[in-house]
Structure 1
Amino acid sequence: MGTAADQSDRVVEVWIPSYPAVPLFLTEVRELARAFEREHPGYRIEIVECSSYESLPEEVHRAAQRGHRPAIVSYLFTSTQLARDMRTHAGEPLFMPVQRAIGGRTEILGHPVVIDDLVPAARAYYTSGDELFALPHLTSTTLLYTNNSLLSKSGVREVPRTWSELTAACRKLAGRTGVAGPGVTWPNAGWIFQQAVAQQGAVLADPDNGRTVRAQQVQLDSEEMLAFVHWWQQLHRSGYYHYSGVRAIGDRTGDAWERNYRAFAEQRVAFVLSTSVEADRMVDAGRQSGFEVTASRMPHNGEVPYAGNVVGGDALWLSDGLDEATRDGALAFMQYLLSAEHAARRHKTTRFMPVTRSSVDLLDSEGWFEASPQHRAALDQLDASDGSYAARGALLGDLAGLHDVVTQAMDDVLACGADPDRRFAEASSQAQRQLDDYNADCLGERPGPAGPRRFAVN
C-alpha cells in the first residue's frame, strides 16, 4: 500500500499485481506516482500492490461487489475479455473504454495523450471495432533464440525463419559434436498455440476472433491449428524437440518456462522459443557459458502467407463511474506513465517492449538497439503484422480454460501418442462447452447476477 493520503487530496487508486521476476517495475511506478503528485498538488496516486496477477481479477471482483472500485487496474492480457465483462455490485460494466473517456482530447492535465503513438500491434490487441478499451503498458511477444556457436558447428548458415527451415536445421544438428540432445524446445503453453495460429492468418474463435461481437465458437481443430500440432508432433517423434513434460498452466506456468530456459542455457538444445522479455537473460546465458545468442522472429509456416504474431503483457483499465476530476487524474497519470521518457525507462528496467513509437525513437537515438540488438527483434516482428483479426489475437471468455484444454491435448499427443486430429476435435468440443458456460454467465442466462464467475488467468 502507498502512504495515507491527505484529507484534501483527490485519491486515484491504482491496483497493480506483484511481478517477482521484474522487481523494479513497482518501484518505478511508485516513483512516477510521487513525481506526478509533485506536478499536480491536490492529487494522490495510491499504488496498491496486489498479491499476484493470477488472483487480481477475483480480488477486483470482490471489491466491486462491495461497492468499491479502484480508478485504474492493471490486467494481464489473458484477462482482457474478463475485464470487459466485469460488473459492479449494481450490474453495470466496471470499466469504461479509455478512448471514450479521453473523448478526442490531445492532452489531459497538460500531459499529451499517447494512444495514437502506441506501437500498432499493441494498440490493436486492446481495440474492438475502432475503440481502444485499455492502455497497454507492458508488452511482449514470442521470439526464437539461437545458439550460434552450435549452429556454426552443424553447418547451418542462417537462423531458421520457417517451420521447414527449423526442421532442416535440427536435422543437421542431430548427432553433431557438442550437441547433447534435441535441437529445439518451447513450453507447452497456450500462448504458443495462439502465436502459431495467428501467424497463419487463422482465428481461434468465431466470429472474427471476438473482435466485432462476442466470441461464440472456438476452433481448436482448424486446419491451421492441426498443421502446427502435426509439425510439432513430427519434431518430437524425430528426436528434434525436447519436451519438459510440464504444461504451462496454473501454478506450473513458471516451472514450464524455467525448464525451457535451462535447456537452452545448458546447451541441451540450440533453439528455444520464449518471451521477448527473456532476451537479455538468454544473451547473458550464452555469455556466461561461452556461446553467442541471436534473438529473431518466431518461425512460421512457410506454406501460407504470414499474418502476424500476438502480443502479451499487461494493460491499464479505467473504472467507469468516477467523478470527472478523479477520472481526469487517472487518465493523466496513465498518459504520464507512457510518455516517451518513462516508456523507454520502463523497457530498460523490465525488458518489456517500448510500447510507443516515441519511446522507440528515443531509445534508437541513444544507440540502445545498436548496443542491444536482441531488443529490436520483437519490434520488427510486431511491425510485420498485417493487422487482421487473426494477427490481433483472440478476445475470448475463459481464455485460461482454453489454455488448459489445449495444453492437455498436446501433452496427450506428445507423451501418450494420441491421434492429433481426434484429440484436438475432443479439445475443441470441451473448450466450446466452457465458452458456452462463460457466455451464459456473462449474458445473464443463468440464475444470479450477470457477470463472470471464473477468474482464472493462466
Structure 2
Amino acid sequence: MGGGNGEVLQGLADDFQSETGIAVNLVFQDSYEGVLTKFLGALESGEVPDLAQIDSLFAQQVLGTGATEPVENLLSDSFPVDDLLPNVTSFFTVDDVLQSMPFNNSNAIMYYNRTAFEEAGLDPDSPPTSLAAVREYSETLVDEGVTEAGITWPNHVWFVEHFYSVDGQLLFDAKNGHAGKASTLYTDNPTARRVYEWWRGMADDGLYTNPGIEAWGEATSTFLTGNAAMLLTSTAFVTGARQGAKENGFEVDNAFYPTVDGDRVGPVIGGASWFAPSGLPDDRRAKIGQFLEFMASPASQITWHKGTGYYPNRQTAIDRLEASGWFEENPMYRTAFDQLTEAENTPATKRMLVGPARQAQTTIQNTSVQLFEGQVGIDEGLGQLKTTVEKQLNRYHS
C-alpha cells in the first residue's frame, strides 16, 4: 500500500497508536508479490512480522505453509464477525474458520469518460453492459474520432476471473479450489471462447489498447489522457479517477463490469487480507487482535472507504454511510458495493484458491497475449493454456 492509499492506511495506524498506546510500524513493500516473497521467507526463518497484507490471489499458498494462525483466534469474543459482509468473508473462511482478516477488498468495475461519450453522440447515462455493447460503443468512439481506442485494462488474471465469474463459470475444478485440490483449468467452454474471440476482435480492429502485462499504471494513464474512453480496473481507483478526470478536463463515471452475453451472476473479490503467523507470544497476540478489530471497526472502514474507494467490509459501516447520504452524494463509490451485494454467492463468484496461483496467473496472462494478438488460434491457445496450468497444479500438489 503505497501512494494515496498508503497515506490513508498510515493515518489509521496513527489513530490506533494514539488511542491504545500500542506502537505500529508499517513497512511498505514494492508489490503484493514482494510482500508474499518476504513473508514466506520470514515464516521459514522464524523472524516474522506480526501481520502481512497478502493479496487474495496468494491466500492458498500462505495457508499451505501451515505456519499461520486463524485470525478468528485473535479476536475477542465480543467482536461481531457476523457483521462482516458474507460475500467477502466467504472467500477468507476455510474449514468454517476465518483464516485472515479481510481489509482492502474490491471488485473490478468499468470507468468511462462521460465527456467522450457525449462528443461521440453516446448516452453517458446508459453505459454498455455487455461485451457486444462495449464493442459497439468503441466503434462509435473511434469512428467519430473522439478517442484512439474504446477500452483498455491491465492484462492481469483478475480480469479473466471476472469474465468467468460474471458469467457464472468456474475457472478451476473443485469449486475454484474451495472444495479441495484443484486439478484442472476450465477453458473448453463457451465463456472462454466468447471472451477471447471478442478480445482478439477488439485488438484486431484497434478498439482495445493493450497497456501490457500487469500494467495498472499504464492502463490508468491511457484512460486519463483520453486515449481510451473506457477502463476496466479496481474500485480502489474511484478517488484517483475523480481527481485525474478533473485534472484532465473531463467528467468521469463508472458502471458494473460488462457481462459476456447479457446474463450476470457476479464478480469475484480482489484486494488483500491480514495474515498472522502462528507461535507468537500471548502479549503480541492480544495486541494484534486489538489492531485487527480497530482496522475492521465501522469508523475505520468508513475512513478507509472514503479515502480510497475500497468498499467497507462491515454492514454497520454501510448502514452509517447510507444514513448520512454518502452514497447519494457520491454514487461512484457505490457501484462496486452494489455489484458485490447484488451478486449470487456461488462457487463461481469465489476467487480461485489454488496453491500455484502465481504460476497460473503468469501462464494465463502470457497466453492471453498470444490469443488476442493472433499468435495462436483460439481453440489451440485455450488447449495449451489448460495443459500448462494442469502441469503446474500437479507439480505443486506432488
TM-score of the pair, normalised by structure 2 = 0.92
Q: 2:24, 2:161 → 1: CA distance?
A: 35
**Residues 109-146 of structure 1: CA deviation (Å, up to 9, x unaligned):** xxxx1421122322122123533211111111111111
Pair 135,392 (structure 1): closer, same or farther in 2 beyond 3 Å? same
Change in 2 beyond 3 A, CA 1:51/1:393? closer
- One-letter identity of the residue aligned with 2:98: L
Q: What CA distance in whole angstroms lies between the structure 2 residues aligned with 1:67 and 1:290?
A: 52
Residue 27 (structure 2) aligned to one of 12, 36, 49: 49
Equivalents in 2 of 1:310, 1:195: separation in Å?
6
Are positions 1:194 and 2:161 aligned together? Answer: yes
Q: 1:347 to 1:73 in 2, by over 3 A?
A: same
Does the 8 Å CA contact 1:280/1:374 hold for their aligned counterparts?
A: no
Q: Name which of structure 1's ranges 23-32 and 403-412 shifts more when overlaid on structure 2.
A: 23-32
- Residue in structure 1 matched with residue 192 of structure 2 by the alignment: 225
CA gap 1:51/1:171 in 2 versus in 1, 3 angstroms: closer
1:259 and 2:242 correspond? no
Residue 139 of structure 1 aligns with which residue?
Answer: 105
CA distances 1:160-185 after superposition (whole Å, capped 9, x unpaired): 111122122223223114x1312111
Report matched runs for 1:287-326 at 5 Å. Answer: 287-303=246-262, 305-326=263-284
Q: Is the 8 A contact 2:191 2:260 kept in 1?
A: no
Match of residue 59, structure 2, among 77, 80, 89? 80
Contact 2:17 2:24 in 1 (8 A): no
Tell me the CA shift for residue 327 of structure 1: 2.9
CA contact (8 A) 2:147 2:229 kept: no
Give, as a single letter, the amino acid of the residue that structure 2 aligns with 1:388: T
Q: Are residues 331 and 301 of structure 1, via their aligned partners in 2, closer, same or farther at CA, if it must alter by over 3 Å?
A: same
Secondary structure at 1:218 match in 2: coil
- Whichever residue aligns with residue 136 of structure 2, its letter is A
Counterpart residue number, 1:447: none
How far apart, CA to CA, are the structure 1 residues paired with 2:39 and 2:371? Answer: 37
- Find 1:32's aligned residue among 15, 26, 37: 15
1:31 CA displacement: 0.9
Question: Given that residues 111 and 233 in structure 2 are in contact (C-alpha distance below 8 angstroms), is that contact kept between their aligned partners in structure 1?
Answer: yes
Q: Which structure exhibits the higher relative contact order, with contacts defined as CA atoms closer than 8 Å and separated by 6 or more residues?
A: 2
The one-letter code of the counterpart of 1:419 is: G
Shift of 1:21: 5.2
Match 2:132 to one of 150, 160, 164: 164
C-alpha displacement of 1:56: 2.2
Q: Which residue of 166, 175, 196 corresponds with 1:208? A: 175
Task: Give RMSD over aligned pairs.
Answer: 2.2
AA matched with 1:165: A
Structure 1 CA distance for aligned equivalents of residues 352 and 267 of structure 2: 12
The residue type equivalent to 1:263 in the other structure is T
Q: Give a deviation string over 1:51-86, Cα, whole Å, max 9, x none.
A: 333222232233322334444322111211111112
Structure 2 counterpart of 1:37, one-letter code: T
Letter in 2 for 1:79: F
Contact 2:239 2:308 in 1 (8 A): no
Which letter does structure 2 place at the counterpart of 1:425?
G
Amino acid aligned to 1:59: K
Over 3 Å counting, the alpha-carbon distance change for 1:192 and 1:54 in structure 2 is: same
1:84 partner letter: L
**CA–CA distance in structure 2, aligned partners of residues 56 and 171 of structure 1:** 41
Q: Which moved more, 1:121-130 or 1:264-273?
A: 121-130
Please give the per-residue CA displacement for 1:384-434, whole angstroms capped at 9, x wherever unaligned: 221001111110112121121111111112334421210121122111111
Determine which structure has the larger helix proportion and give its number: 2
How far is the alpha carbon of 1:97 from its aligned partner?
2.4
**Counterparts of 1:352 and 1:393 in 2: how far apart (Å)?**
17
Aligned to 1:272: 231
**Structure 1 residue 175 and structure 2 residue 143: aligned?**
yes
Local SS of the residue matching 1:137:
strand
| Contact 1:99/1:133, CA 8 A, preserved across alignment | yes
Partner of 2:69: 96
* Change over 3 Å in CA distance of 1:106–1:435 after alignment to 2: same
**Separation in 2 of the partners of 1:82 and 1:29?**
28
Q: Which amino acid aligns with 1:232?
A: W
**Aligned equivalent of 2:372:** 414
Q: Taking structure 1 as reference, are residues 240 and 97 closer, same or farther at Cα in structure 2, changes over 3 Å only? A: same
SS at match of 2:103: strand
CA change 1:36–1:221 in 2 (3 A) is: farther
Shift of 1:36: 4.7
- Name stretches of at least 5 consecutive residues in structure 1 with no aligned partner: 1-17, 39-43, 87-92, 108-112, 249-255, 441-458
CA contact (8 A) 1:24 1:350 kept: no
Report the CA distance shift for 1:51/1:280 in structure 2 as closer, same or farther (over 3 A).
closer
Write out per-residue CA displacement over residues 350-409 of structure 1, whole angstroms, 9 at most, x where no aligned residue.
Answer: 332222111222223333323322111010111122100111111011212112111111
How big is the shift at 1:205? 1.2
Corresponding letter in the other structure for 2:27: E
Partner of 2:389: 431
Check conservation: 2:105, 2:269, Cα contact below 8 A: yes
Which letter maps to 1:288? E
Aligned match for 1:372, one of 330, 336, 354: 330
8 Å contact kept, 1:406–1:424: no
Letter in structure 2 aligned against 1:47 = N
Contact 1:203/1:393 (8 A) holds in 2: no
Greater percentage in strand: 1
Give the equivalent residue in structure 2 for 1:449. Answer: none
Q: Distance in 1 between matches of 2:304 and 2:364?
A: 33
Cα distance in 2 for partners of 1:142, 1:28 equals 26
1:453 alignment partner in structure 2: none
Question: Could you tell me how far 1:221 is from its partner in structure 2?
Answer: 4.3
Q: Which is higher, the Rg of structure 1 or of structure 2?
A: 1
Alpha-carbon distance in 2 for matches of 1:373, 1:172: 26
